[in-house]
């Protein structure tokens, strides 16, 4: 493959001539020190493959947390134009549809929580089901589940989980329109019926964090974040339900490329035109899975709040817990963007990438419109996470998108060869983080050494002007599946 062309210190271009069939160049946001790993991971091949999709606009994009994924790289972004035969690809969303991040702030300070952090983490671990195949204590009938996937977080609020004002601070107000439950398989509904309000496994987590650095006082104040303040971050998605939806539609769309004359360089990029029956059906079902994830995080947040109250023996007023924002990072959405001076309605795939809309954008909640959309970028459980706000350059360069996290540096199998659970436990203790893990192997797979330093990743998008740093959050307690 042709060498990357340096555009500036944060941006590199993969020429359109790098691979036959590319319709647009690739663009990779990364610091120079990240390139060796990116090239070695072979994910540039996936960037080139995505550039071959019908209707793709401007660039096949990769964020600095890029690594190998199914079809699209994780950290991959692409927008297609339905009016030009643009396609939708499940590989551009991923199996865990609407895997995302929710951040809640509190009025509590470090000294209110750290002396009792072990009790708090144990309470959270008891109250929040987590781990592979774990069932929630919330049992739904299939009729209830169909309502949930149509209503998203609104269903959770109506059933006593959180408050109606939370909905303003969830992307899409916690519910994607045009979700169609009738397209779902019985298997998907069966898998999802017992998992609403559970954390899952893999890289999913619930963290208790402390605000330990503020870069933008104005934006932090608007979000209710202050130095030494306690926050709660939840990272999870649509569980087995979303996985099954993706699996179902990989089969449904398998014949679409032949039917519509789509040539694909990789069968994992199975696609259908957005405006085809297959494309519309996938999007309708994907939206159901997205709504499932919004409801799941809403329920989890309510459970976390109750666990805080029990463990710390304080009142809701003293705790002052409130939702800052909730963002998906595995999703495809129809949005308006400007391409060569023309406003177009595009299908934007964000696979391990987060929306980053700027100040003044009408889809940014009124409270945040002057500062830009909050963007939540989790790191690993031993270092830190970041809160950022979207900037106009993201609209101009990346369809309003930035990174979604630190990005893996080592495979799960490799990190398990390098350290064991007891080493991880000692490392976490030395870092001052109380960890409760429902699975030892899963915890080791998510060890800090397995990930890039999220500060480097965030530094790239900050320097590129795609988003601006607001504050850094350091973990003091974590619950893992």
pLDDT in tens, 140-158: 899 999 999 999 999 999 9
pLDDT band at 343 (very low <50, low <70, confident <90, very high): very high
Label residue 288 exposed, middle or buried (CB < 10 Å: 0-12, 13-18, 19+).
Answer: buried
- Topology of domain 5-480, per CATH? tRNA-splicing ligase RtcB (3.90.1860)
Domain boundaries, the chain: 5-480
pLDDT in tens, 351-395: 999 999 999 999 999 999 999 999 999 999 999 999 999 999 999
- pLDDT at site 133: 67
What percent of the chain stands above pLDDT 70?
99
- pLDDT at site 314: 97
Residues 6+ away with beta carbon under 8 Å from 210: 110, 114, 228, 229, 230, 231, 473, 474, 476
- pLDDT at site 1: 66
- pLDDT at site 238: 96
As a whole number of Å, the end-to-end CA separation of the chain is: 39
The whole-number average pLDDT for the span 321-333 is 98
- pLDDT at site 305: 97
The whole-number average pLDDT for the span 156-181 is 97
**Model pTM?**
0.96
Q: Which of 7, 15, 100 is nearest to 377 (CA)?
A: 100
Is the pLDDT confidence value at 88 over 70?
yes
Residue 434 tokens read as 């109380």
Region of residue 25 (phi > 0: left; psi between -120 and 50: alpha; otherwise: beta): beta
Residue 331 tokens read as 């999703």
pLDDT in tens, 262-320: 999 999 999 999 999 999 999 999 999 999 999 999 999 999 999 999 999 999 999 99
- pLDDT at site 266: 95
pLDDT in tens, 199-250: 988 889 999 999 999 999 999 999 999 999 999 999 999 999 999 999 999 9
In sequence order, the β-bridge partners of residue 208 are 232, 477
In sequence order, the β-bridge partners of residue 385 are 473
CA 419/CA 399 separation, integer angstroms: 39
Q: How many Cβ atoms sit within 10 Å of the Cβ of residue 401? A: 29
Q: Given the residues 337, 349, 404, 438, select the one marked as catalytic.
A: 404
CA 189/CA 208 separation, integer angstroms: 32
- Is residue 404 flagged as an active site residue? yes
Mean predicted lDDT score pLDDT of the chain: 95
């Amino acid at each position: 493959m042709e060498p990357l062309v340096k555009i500036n210190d944060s941006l590199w271009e993969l020429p359109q001539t790098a691979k036959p069939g590319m319709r647009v160049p690739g663009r990779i946001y990364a610091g120079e020190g990240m390139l060796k790993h990116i090239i070695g991971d072979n994910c540039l091949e996936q960037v080139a493959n995505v550039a071959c999709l019908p209707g793709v606009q401007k660039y096949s994009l990769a964020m600095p947390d890029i690594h190998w994924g199914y079809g699209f790289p994780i950290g991959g972004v692409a927008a297609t134009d339905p009016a030009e035969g643009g396609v939708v690809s499940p590989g551009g969303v991923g199996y865990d549809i609407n895997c995302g991040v929710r951040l809640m702030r509190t009025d509590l300070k470090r000294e209110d929580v750290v002396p009792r952090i072990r009790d708090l983490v144990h309470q959270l671990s008891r109250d929040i089901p987590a781990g592979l195949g774990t069932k929630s204590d919330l049992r739904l009938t299939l009729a209830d589940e169909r309502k949930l996937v149509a209503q998203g977080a609104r269903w959770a609020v109506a059933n006593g989980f959180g408050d109606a004002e939370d909905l303003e601070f969830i992307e899409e107000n916690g519910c994607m329109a045009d979700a169609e439950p009738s397209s779902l398989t019985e298997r998907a509904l069966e898998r999802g019926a017992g998992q609403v309000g559970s954390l899952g496994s893999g890289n999913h987590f619930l963290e208790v964090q402390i605000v330990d650095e503020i870069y933008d006082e104005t934006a932090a104040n608007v979000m209710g974040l202050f130095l030494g303040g306690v926050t709660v971050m939840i990272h999870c998605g649509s569980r087995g339900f979303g996985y099954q939806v993706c699996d179902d539609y990989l089969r449904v769309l398998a014949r679409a490329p032949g039917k519509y004359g789509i040539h694909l360089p990789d069968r994992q990029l199975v696609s259908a035109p957005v405006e085809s029956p297959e494309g519309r059906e996938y999007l309708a079902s994907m939206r159901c899975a997205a709504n499932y994830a919004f409801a799941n995080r809403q329920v989890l947040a309510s459970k976390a709040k109750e666990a805080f109250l029990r463990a710390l023996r304080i009142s809701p007023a003293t705790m002052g817990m409130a939702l800052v924002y909730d963002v998906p990072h595995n999703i495809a959405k129809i949005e308006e963007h400007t391409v060569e001076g023309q406003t177009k309605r595009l299908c934007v795939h964000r696979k391990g990438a987060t929306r980053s809309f700027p100040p003044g954008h009408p889809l940014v909640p009124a409270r945040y419109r002057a500062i830009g959309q909050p963007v939540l970028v989790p790191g690993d459980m031993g270092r830190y996470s970041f809160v950022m706000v979207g900037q106009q350059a993201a609209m101009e360069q990346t369809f309003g998108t930035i990174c979604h996290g630190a990005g893996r540096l080592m495979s799960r199998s490799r990190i398990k060869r390098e350290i064991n659970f007891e080493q991880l436990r000692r490392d976490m203790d030395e870092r001052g983080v109380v960890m409760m893990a429902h699975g030892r192997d899963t915890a080791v797979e998510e060890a800090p050494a397995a990930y890039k330093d999220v500060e480097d990743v965030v530094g790239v998008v900050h320097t590129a002007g795609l988003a601006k740093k607001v504050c850094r959050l350091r973990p003091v307690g974590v619950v893992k599946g």
